[in-house]
Structures are given as C-alpha cells and as structure tokens.
Amino acid sequence: MTWLATLRRYAGLYGALWRNSVTRELQFKLNFILWIVVELLWFALQLAFMSVLYSHTESIGGWSKWEVVLLVGCANFVQQLFTALFLVNLTDLSEHIRTGRLDFMLLLPVNTRFLISLRKVDLGSYVNAAAALAVMVWAGSRLQLSPSFGQFVGFGALCLVGLMIHYSLMFLLSSIAFWTVRAQGIVWGYYNLFNIARLPESAFPAGAFRVVFTFLLPMLLVANVPAKVMVQKLSSPGEWLLLVFMGVACYAASELFWRISLRHYTSASS
C-alpha cells in the first residue's frame, strides 16, 4: 500500500501549497478581482469576435454559431484550468534557474517536477474556468443538447487530456531555460497558440499549418475534440484516440527533455 501513502503525502503537500496561495492572493484583494475582470473581458472579446463573424455567415467549416460558442467556451475552460494549476509556476522556472533557487528545490525530499509545476495556485482562474463552463452550458441549451452520461465522461476526460497537452508543451518550452537564460520570450509566445485552439479545425485546409498544429503542437485538437464529443460531430473514434495518443506523446517528450536538461544543470551559484 505504499503508493496510497505516497498519494496521501502528495495530497497533503498540495493542500499546504493551496493554503499558501490563498494567503498570498488575499493580501491584494482588489488586484485579485481586477485580474478576474481582465480575463473575463478577453473571453467576452473572443465571443464578440465570433458573433461578428456569424452576423455575416451561417457556418464556418460546418460549425454553426452556437457550436462555435461551445468550442470557444471549451478552449477557454481548458486554458483557464491550465492557468489555475500551472502557468505561473512554469514561467517562474527560468527565474529559479537563473537565481540558483532550483538547488534548494532539488534538495527537498519531494519530486522536483511536482514542486516546480504546482507551487503556486492561481485562484482567480478557477472563477474564469467556471465562467467558461457557464458559457458552454448556455450554448448547449441554445443547441438543445441533452448529452448522455457517457458524453459527459468523455468530454471531461478529453478536457483533461487537453490540459495535459498544454502543460507538457509549456513545461518543455520552459525547460529550454536550462540551456539559455532568456527563455521567457519563448514561453510567452505559447500564448499565441491558445488563439488557434478555439477555432474550428475543419476551417483549416490540408497543408503544413494543419499538420504542424495537429501532430507537432496539437492545438487544433485540444478543444476541438472534446467540443465535438458534446455536439456529436466526431466522425470516428480515431479523432479522440489521436488526442489521447498526442497527450501521452507530449507528456513523454516533456519528461524526457526534463531529465536530459536536469543532467545539464550546473547551478547558478557557488
């Protein structure tokens, strides 16, 4: 039963990290609320963009207006969960390396990747994830969807896979900081990729762009596949199998690169 003990230990650790984050966030209450407002504003902006597009057309790549609203909601849901759990921690990594604070983390008796990835919790993003969920429910009711239990489970599981893909890719990009100190630009560049995750993938013609963003950086899958499960657009089980496969592949690649990078680490101080 050792794995159960390990699990309990890590759950306890994460609880402590949560309490720390809550204390930190509550120091600046107004700022905390303003950040939520900023994110909600950008979310509203994406929806406004789609509604302008649909005032001139009936469908984009076979997707109707409310189907796309659901897709935008889904993309934002996954993105906000990613922000809540991981984003700050991953952008902090290059600072840990630059200042040598990573030495200290490597010496702690916990899995270093766990600590680096989950140290801070971005509470406001949970509020925004809830807003994204509400938009999906709203779109679903406009589409008069009545999803089965299986659809809910499939949707939830595939959203988690999408989350894993964002996390693995961003972790991989952050690890570049082991090799070059100025990796922050690359990490923030990832933000641009979120922009294409919320577009219907059928709008993209076969070509280099589509291949890259399906098989290399699977942005055209992370939100599209779960949303398709909900609006029953999946043409074959191959689509969700591909997403799961890409999720596992991205995670494996990030773990491999992390181990290679750690071996390359020489510490900044002493």
Partner 1 sequence: MGKYFHVFKIGIQNTLVYRVNFLFRALFGLIPLAGTLFVWRAIFADKGPDAQVGEYTLRAMVSYYLLVTFIDALTAVAEDDWQIASDIKDGLISQLLLKPVDYLTYRLSLYFSGRTTYTTVALIPVSLFAYYLRDYLVAPADVSTLGLFVVSVILAAFLQFFIAYAVAMLAFWVLDISTFIFIQFAFEYIASGHLFPLDILPPPLALALKFTPYPYLSFFPAAIYLGRVSGTELWQGLALQVFWVVACYGLARLLWARGVRRYSAVGG
Contacts with partner 1, residue ranges (CB under 8 A) = 28, 31, 34-35, 37-38, 41-42, 45, 48-49, 52-53, 55-61, 182, 185-186, 189, 192-193, 195-196, 199-200, 202-205, 209
Amino acid at 91: T
Nearest distance in Å: CB 55, partner 1 = 7
Least separation in angstroms between residue 43's CB and partner 1 is 10
3-state helix, strand, coil in the chain (%, to 5): 80, 0, 20
CA 15 to chain centre: 21
From the centroid of its chain, how far is CA 51? 24
**Residue 175, helix vs strand vs coil:** helix
Please, what is the minimum distance in Å from the beta carbon of residue 59 to partner 1?
Answer: 6
User: Residue 232 — left, alpha, or beta (φ > 0 → left; ψ -120 to 50 → alpha)?
Assistant: left
Q: How far is the CB of 179 from partner 1 (least distance, A)?
A: 14
Shortest distance (Å) from residue 190 CB to partner 1: 8
Amino acid at 24: R
In the bound state with partner 1, the residue whose beta carbon lies nearer, of 40 and 160, is 40
Q: Which is nearer to partner 1, 192 or 266 (CB)?
A: 192
Task: Please say which residue, 63 or 155, places its beta carbon nearer to partner 1.
Answer: 63
DSSP run (H or E) holding 17: helix 2-26
* Interaxial angle between packed helices 65-82 and 224-231, expressed in degrees from 0 to 180 and rounded to the nearest 10: 130
Toward partner 1, which CB reaches closer, 152 or 191?
191
Cβ closer to partner 1: 107 or 206? 206
Closest to partner 1 by CB, 13 vs 123, is: 123
In whole angstroms, how close is the CB of 57 to partner 1 at the nearest point?
5
Q: Which residues contact 136 (CB under 8 A, 6 or more apart)?
A: 70, 73, 74, 77, 230
Measured CA to CA, the distance from residue 148 to residue 230 in angstroms comes to: 9
